[in-house]
Amino acid sequence: MTLFDTHAHFDSFAAEGGVDQVLARAAAAGVARICAVGSSEASNDLVARLAQEHPAQLVAAVGYDRDQVDKPCDVAKLSALADGPGVVAVGETGLDYYYSADTAPDQRRLFARMLEFALDRRLPVVVHSRYADDDTLDLLGEFSTAWKKVFHSMEKKTERFPQHGKTEADFSTAWKPPPDLFHSVEKEVPPPGILHCFTGDMAFAEALLAMGFMISFSGIVSFNNAGPLREVARHMPLDRLLVETDCPYLTPKPFRGKVNEPAFVVRVAEVVAEARDSDAIDIAAATFANALRVFQREGEP
């Protein structure tokens, strides 16, 4: 079973000098790839560096999250990081009205700025949303529409017919045109992003799916009171499903009391598989492929 933990925070592991050990335990558990997620200037620097140091295991997301509204937002520095090797997404960013409803207007402005930043670089967004469904959908709806337009304009290609004015007799049977020379080609638009650590209801999920987003489940799906969330996971389209730890937080059962880490995403996949009456190996394979697609890394080993 090979897994992709699509959302992990490495700040505390790095501070304790334990990154190598965490990565070794992840690899031993079958977690082949991990997205290290930033949310502030310091964590953005960290994850970009880690992605360069551990390219076989780590990719990175960089951005400014809702708790950074009163801090400087250095877009020039963020741009340099986003252009670096291994950076595959913008985030974590989004809205949280549970603890910080008083900063809601500032959160929306910062979130909109990060969405514009992601669109300019054609990078997917890693989105946090808590008690902010309506505002999240409003902003992501605009982003999704713009995202599709950007990729359609990039991928459409029409070539002129080089045989214009010639007759069939003018052509040599020895020459054959390239297969894509005489028609328009439109590639699939990649997903615009991920709603990470999903805890919403089916209506929220369906609205996100309609916009093209991926839905990622964390260790919360294993909690005793998470029956409704497991029901959402049960009905999620397999090609939109992701798993994550959001470590070092939200340790899944039966590991409650321990510090969460990427190795425990195996348990998240198992719980999602149980909810869907499926096999964890199938969930692992599907979510790994989905992660490569949303991070635009398809074709990699």
Both tokens of 257, joined, read: 């009391």
**Angle between the 265-275 and 227-235 helix axes, to the nearest 10 degrees?**
80
List pLDDT tens digits, range 146-168: 999 998 776 554 333 343 344 44
Global pTM reads: 0.89
CA neighbor of 105 nearest in space, from 132, 137, 80, 126 = 132
Q: How far apart are CA 207 and CA 133, in angstroms?
A: 10
Sequence ranges of the domains in the chain: 3-157+180-294
- In whole angstroms, give the CA distance from residue 277 to residue 220: 19
- The CATH-assigned architecture of domain 3-157+180-294 is Alpha-Beta Barrel (3.20)
pLDDT in tens, 86-136: 999 999 999 999 989 999 999 999 999 999 999 999 999 999 999 999 999
- Residue 100 C-beta-side C-alpha neighbours within 13 Å: 17
